[in-house]
Structure 1
Amino acid sequence: MPNQHLLAMDPHLWPHDMVGQEGQPVRVFVVDDDCHARRVIAQGLMADSRTLLVGQAANLREARKNIRQQEFDVLIVDLNLGDGEGLELLEFARNLYPSVLSIVVSVTERDDKVLQAFERGAVGYLLKNSWFDDYPQAVLQVANGGASITPVLARKLLSHLGKAPAKFSLSEEPLPDDQLSARECEILKMIACGYTGPEVASFLKISALTVNTHIKNIYRKLQTHTRAQAVRAASLKGWL
C-alpha cells in the first residue's frame, strides 16, 4: 500500500507540507453500530495528534442528524448499520459535503459490496479485524490524496481488473476523444488500488510529470475532478 512507512512515522517527523499537522488535524466522524468497533477506531484516532475524532453515530438515523451539525474532513462508516446500509450514508454525505472523503469499514469483502462502495464515492475500504489496518494511517492516506484499501482486497481488486476484458485499443489508430489509452487505463487501475502518483511513476519507470499529465488527460476525458470520480466513471463505462 502507498507510503505505509511514511504514514506510520512519528507525528513529530510528519512533513510540513502534508495534511494532518498537530495544530490542524484531520477531522473524522465515525459511524458504526458496533460499540466495540467504534471504541477501537476512536482510541486509534485520539492517540494520534494528526487526527481528531469530532463525532460518532451508532446508526443511519443518528448519523443523518449528527453529520449536519458537525464539520469534518473524513467519514468512516460501517456498511451494515442497524437501521440501514452505510452505502446510503455515502451518498448522503457526498451530496451534503462534496469535499468530505469516505472510508468504509466492514466485515464484508464481497466484490459487489466493495465495488458499490467505490462507485458511491468511497476512497478507502478496510476489513474489520485485519492486522494490516491502522485507522489514523488510513485517514491520513486519503486526506493526502491517496486511497486506503486492506491489502487482501487490493489484491482481489487487481485480480478482478486484470481479468476484465480490455475496452481500449493497443493500436496506433487515433482514439475517440473520450476513450482512455492503454497507458491511461493502466495508470487508472493503479490509482484505483491506492497507489500515489510518485509510486505509479516508479513502478512504470516514467517521470512523475508524465503521470500527472496522464491523470489530467483522464480527468478531461471522463469529465471528472478527483481520482475517486475518475475511477467511478471508468467503472460505470466498463473500462475497469
Structure 2
Amino acid sequence: MQSKGRTGGFSIFRNPPCVWPESMSGQPGAPVRVHVIDSDPHLRGVVAQELMGDTRTVVSGQAGSLRDGRRLLRDEPCDVLLVDMHLEDGLGLELISQARALRPPAEVVVLSRLDSDDDAMRAFDLGAAGFVVKDSWFVSFVQAVLQVANGGASVTPSVSRRLLLQLGRGRAATELGLSPGQVVRIKLSERELEVLKMIASGLTSVEIGQRLAISCTTVNSHVKNMYQKLHVKSRAQAVSCASSWGLI
C-alpha cells in the first residue's frame, strides 16, 4: 500500500522496500504487469490480491493450466510471468521458452511447492530470474516481481543459501585443483563409499547389511548421509552422480 507522504524523488510504501525511487520500474500510474499462472485458484487469488494491493504492480492476466498460459502469453503483454512449477497439464517450465520467444523483455519467476535445488537450477538454466517456494515464511510476491523487473533475482532464502554454499565448495575445489568428485570423495567416509558401490551393483539395504555385518537401519543411515553430501534424493540419482564424478 502507498502512503500519502512523498519525500523528494521517492514514494513511500508500507510494504518493504518502503522507499521506492522514481527511477525504478513499478511506479504509480505505470505498474509492472504480471501474469499469474497456477493450477490452484485459491493461490491465484492470494497472489492477485497481494499484487493488486500495491500500486507498483498489477495483474495483467491469470490462467490455471499450461494450455491457457500459452494462450495468455500469446494474447496479452506482460512484464513478469509468475508460473507454477507443476501445472495440471504439464510443467510450467515449458512457458519460459515461450515467454522468451513472444515477450523477450519479460522476466519469469517460478513458483514451487517444493524446496528443491534441482528444480531451481532447472528453472535458472531455462532463463528464469526467480524461484519462490510458495509456503516460505519470507515470500512476498510483490517483492519478487519488483526485484526481477528491476534487473535482480528473487530466490527463496533457504534455496539461495544452499546454492551459495554449493558455489563456495566448487570455488574452493577449483582453487585446490580438485574436481567435484574428489571433493565429495574426501567428504564421504570409507564405509559410505563402500555402501555406495554396493548400491551401484544393485544390492538392497538388507543385502548390504548382510555383507557388511551391520543392521539395515545402519545401512539406511549411511545412505541418508550420502544423499546429503551428494545433494541427491534417490539411489538412482546417487549412482548417476557418483558415476559421473568417478566415485564408483
Q: TM-score range by the shorter chain?
A: 0.5 to 0.7
Output aligned runs, 1:8-87, within 5 Å: 8-10=16-18, 13-87=19-93
Question: Conserved in 2, the CA contact under 8 Å of 1:25 and 1:50?
Answer: yes
Q: Cα deviation per residue 1:25-63 (whole Å; 9 max; x = unaligned)?
A: 000001000111111110110000000101000000011
**2:170 alignment partner in structure 1:** 164
**1:184 alignment partner in structure 2:** none
CA distance in structure 2 between the aligned counterparts of 1:7 and 1:17, rounded to whole angstroms = 18
When normalised by structure 2's length, the TM-score is 0.62
Question: Conserved in 1, the CA contact under 8 Å of 2:130 and 2:153?
Answer: yes
CA distance in structure 1 between the aligned counterparts of 2:141 and 2:29, rounded to whole angstroms = 19
How many pairs are equivalent?
Answer: 165
CA distance in structure 2 between the aligned counterparts of 1:43 and 1:123, rounded to whole angstroms = 22
When normalised by structure 1's length, the TM-score is 0.64
**One-letter code aligned to 1:154:** S
User: Structure 1: which 5+ runs fail to align?
Assistant: 171-240
CA distance in structure 1 between the aligned counterparts of 2:30 and 2:56, rounded to whole angstroms = 7
User: Structure 2: which 5+ runs fail to align?
Assistant: 1-12, 177-248
Query: Percent identity, aligned pairs only?
Result: 49
Q: Aligned-pair RMSD on alpha carbons?
A: 2.2
Shift of 1:161: 1.1
Shift of 1:167: 8.2
**One-letter code aligned to 2:34:** V
Q: Cα deviation per residue 1:99-119 (whole Å; 9 max; x = unaligned)?
A: 110001101222221100000
CA distance in structure 2 between the aligned counterparts of 1:48 and 1:19, rounded to whole angstroms = 13
Secondary structure of 1:14's counterpart equals: strand
Q: Which has the higher contact order (CA 8 A, sep 6+)?
A: 1
**One-letter code aligned to 1:142:** V
